[in-house]
Structure 1
Amino acid sequence: MAVSILITGGAGFVGSAIIDAVQEKHPQWKVSVLDLQMLSHPRNNVHYERGDITLPADIERIVHLVRPTAIIHSAGFIPELASRYNRKARNRAFSVNVEGTRNVLTIAKSAGVEVLVWTGSCTAVTDDTAAEALVLAANDEKFATCALRPSVIFGPGDGQLIPSLYSCIMKGETPYILGSGLNLWDVTYVTNVADAHVLAVENLLSSRTAAGEAIFISNEQPIPFRDFCLAVWREFGHYPPFQVHIPRSIAAFAGVVADWMSWLTGIQTTLSNGSVNDACATRYCSGTKAREVLGYVPKVGLEEGIKRSCEEYRRRCKFGEKHDILEQ
């Protein structure tokens, strides 16, 4: 069976990893990309088109050009952490993540696309801007859809998690422990997320046991948030010189005050009510459905993933990022 895959957001962090995973496992599949940005060094044997998922005409153009068998819809707007916490980017997030997804689904169905895999998030269970309900409702006998819910994604090219944790070193914030420091978190290495997407496409093109399903994806290694931070900082040769435990109630109050100060001054601080909630929350999930339905097994473990991610970020900073990397 000749398979043509269209990957929205294929020039981004996760999308690029998905392309690599597809080409490694199915080199015969035809791969196309729709993205707002174009890569300076595009992947070989991949057709790239510039386009915006909030504009139906852009989607229609590439869908009718490449006639995809399946779409991996990984395009989305992820606000910077500060913007996400203070909701400044809410309208943009809704336009791209919800209305953009609606556009992709509508056009895919009308064009006879067989399969769509949506890159969602574990926050779909609480986030009112999630498009997951649209994706799952679109599933039918002719158009198989599923939603993947990866936990926080990190890896080479990560623009949020590793850089944010590294910035804590530069700001002298590493000694402070919000809450107990024992709350478990799930994270997912980016190539594991990419592998899950390939498995989902394979499933929907064959047995379809994943059709209409929302599936959590993680490294299946829950870790206390504090321990994850310490592991990242160690890769940069940093060890907190002392430790100060701040009870969650006090941290939450300080976060609210920081939010008000940011609103008044226009200067965003690292501390916020949202960052306190994230640092103190327990967020991990079961990998049972991913294993049983998709056959998903994370190939890159947490320790190796942290090492690879920090090595890449060190190189990135050396060649032009704003932070000075500490010598180990």
Structure 2
Amino acid sequence: MDQINILVTGGCGFLGTAIVSALLETKHFSVTAVDINPPSLGSSAFPTEVRYVRANVLDLDALQKVFDEAKPAMVIHTVGVFPLGAARYSMKDSDAVFKINIEGTRNVITAAKSSGAKGLVYTSSITVVLDELSTDFRNVNESWPTGRAHTSYGQSKALAESLVLSASSPAFPTCALRPAPIVGEADTALIPTIHALIAASGTPFILGPATNLQDFVYVGNVADAHILAASNLLNSQTAAGQAFFLSNGEPVTLRDMCIAVWKEFGHVPRFQVSVPEGLAWWMGLAAECVGAEGFCRGMVSDGCRERYVSIGKARRVLGYVPRVGLEEGIKRSCEALKKKLERRGKG
């Protein structure tokens, strides 16, 4: 049976790499990975059977050439800018976030349609709903409205998602996947940030009640969902024009998440200090006033709210089942970080 060609934008990124690997494992797909920084020729870190092409999603002409040459049956669009740390909660310098997340997505849709692709799966984000930072979200489903996010990332992903879903048609079906914060072996954000609190002596401090549940998801599970979505759009199209929340379906408190990570590094806080949310808010304001980058009011609001979703729709329509549990996902992530830190220490 001939393999189906899938083009993955951001194919060298954290999620993109996992999707490429998962596609190859099925033996049903050939893969073209597009990235602004593809791996060097012959790099042992990436599968040699993948065609890697360098292209910027903001350069429509160059992007169109890549798509026309690849002639993908389906496009998986993962490219996006996600501000880290306190920058995530600030609208300052948000132009690049909006430009890449929205205009880049618009260009990918245009190039995909023009190249004859039969559909597109978009990597959206749980933040299109949950980045309304002052609100609790308990077991939210896809009927909840978007457009209320307080962050540049949440706003830009919601607008880009709208572009994708409005482009859906029987000849070019599209859908959007909204993953929770992702953990995994190549994670450069979530697990490293939690681990860094050990060296910063920040592990004893608990913001707010520490009973609020939040969602996370293992990168391999998100990759599986993208393949399920692509297959759906190529066949039954029951996912066409729809968005789907993705998580591990195992909401935990942020404190428990942190303790699980620290445990993998042999660290247990010797004491605990509870910081009321109100006091933490004023501390965040003070940090913003003096220009400190490691703390802000947005972090307080985000960390003290309920943040978990229902994956019932993804289960029903896509057949999504998280294969790797959260505990195992955290272990795998931490093992990979340990090896990375060891290499850095030796180097």
Q: Could you say whether these structures have the same fold, taking a TM-score greater than 0.5 normalized by the shorter chain as the test? A: yes
Structure 1 match to 2:68 = 64
Q: Any conservation in 1 of the 2:86–2:295 contact (CA below 8 Å)?
A: no
For 2:89 and 2:199, how far apart are their aligned partners in 1? 21
Amino acid in structure 2 at the alignment position of 1:63:
F
Figure out how many residues of one structure are paired with residues of the other and give that number: 316
Query: How do residues 196-211 of structure 1 correspond to structure 2 at under 5 angstroms?
Result: 196-211=225-240
Structure 1 match to 2:132 = none
Amino acid in structure 2 at the alignment position of 1:21:
A
Task: Report how far residue 100 of structure 1 moved.
Answer: 0.2
Query: How do residues 71-90 of structure 1 correspond to structure 2 at under 5 angstroms?
Result: 71-90=75-94
Task: Report how far residue 79 of structure 1 moved.
Answer: 1.7
3-state SS of the aligned residue for 1:129? helix
Alignment partner for residue 221 of structure 1, among 240, 250, 267?
250
Q: What whole-Å deviation, never above 9, does each CA across 1:120-142 have from its counterpart, x for those lacking one?
A: 11001222112111111110111
Greater shift, 176-185 or 270-279, is seen at 270-279
Structure 1 match to 2:205 = 176
For 1:165 and 1:206, how far apart are their aligned partners in 2? 41
Structure 2 match to 1:13 = 14
Q: Any conservation in 2 of the 1:79–1:89 contact (CA below 8 Å)?
A: no
Alignment of 1:274 onto 2:298? yes
Structure 2 match to 1:113 = 117
For 2:3 and 2:155, how far apart are their aligned partners in 1? 38
Gaps of 5+ in 1: 323-328
Alignment partner for residue 50 of structure 1, among 54, 69, 88?
54
Amino acid in structure 2 at the alignment position of 1:61:
K
Structure 2 match to 1:326 = none
For 2:176 and 2:93, how far apart are their aligned partners in 1? 23
- In the TM superposition, structure 1's runs of 4+ consecutive aligned residues that sit over 6 Å from their partners are none
For 1:158 and 1:107, how far apart are their aligned partners in 2? 29
Task: Report how far residue 93 of structure 1 moved.
Answer: 0.6
Structure 2 match to 1:212 = 241
Q: Any conservation in 2 of the 1:184–1:283 contact (CA below 8 Å)?
A: yes
Task: Report how far residue 82 of structure 1 moved.
Answer: 2.7
Alignment partner for residue 159 of structure 1, among 165, 188, 206?
188
Task: Report how far residue 88 of structure 1 moved.
Answer: 3.5
Amino acid in structure 2 at the alignment position of 1:319:
R
Amino acid in structure 2 at the alignment position of 1:35:
D
Greater shift, 214-223 or 76-85, is seen at 76-85
Task: Report how far residue 261 of structure 1 moved.
Answer: 1.1
Structure 2 match to 1:4 = 5
For 1:17 and 1:227, how far apart are their aligned partners in 2? 26
Q: What whole-Å deviation, never above 9, does each CA across 1:220-254 have from its counterpart, x for those lacking one?
A: 00001111111111111111111111111111111
Amino acid in structure 1 at the alignment position of 2:33:
V
Alignment partner for residue 215 of structure 2, among 165, 186, 206?
186
Query: How do residues 261-300 of structure 1 correspond to structure 2 at under 5 angstroms?
Result: 261-262=290-291, 267-268=292-293, 270-300=294-324
For 1:289 and 1:81, how far apart are their aligned partners in 2? 31
Query: How do residues 82-161 of structure 1 correspond to structure 2 at under 5 angstroms?
Result: 82-125=86-129, 126=149, 127-130=154-157, 131-161=160-190
Identity %: 46
Q: What whole-Å deviation, never above 9, does each CA across 1:47-72 have from its counterpart, x for those lacking one?
A: 00011001102210110101000000
Amino acid in structure 1 at the alignment position of 2:14:
F
Task: Report how far residue 29 of structure 1 moved.
Answer: 1.5
CA RMSD of aligned residues (A): 1.3
Amino acid in structure 2 at the alignment position of 1:100:
G
What TM-score, normalized by structure 2, do the two folds share? 0.89
For 1:2 and 1:245, how far apart are their aligned partners in 2? 56
For 2:3 and 2:50, how far apart are their aligned partners in 1? 16
Greater shift, 120-129 or 11-20, is seen at 120-129
Q: What whole-Å deviation, never above 9, does each CA across 1:275-315 have from its counterpart, x for those lacking one?
A: 11221121100010010000000000011111111011010
Change (3 A) 1:114 1:80: same
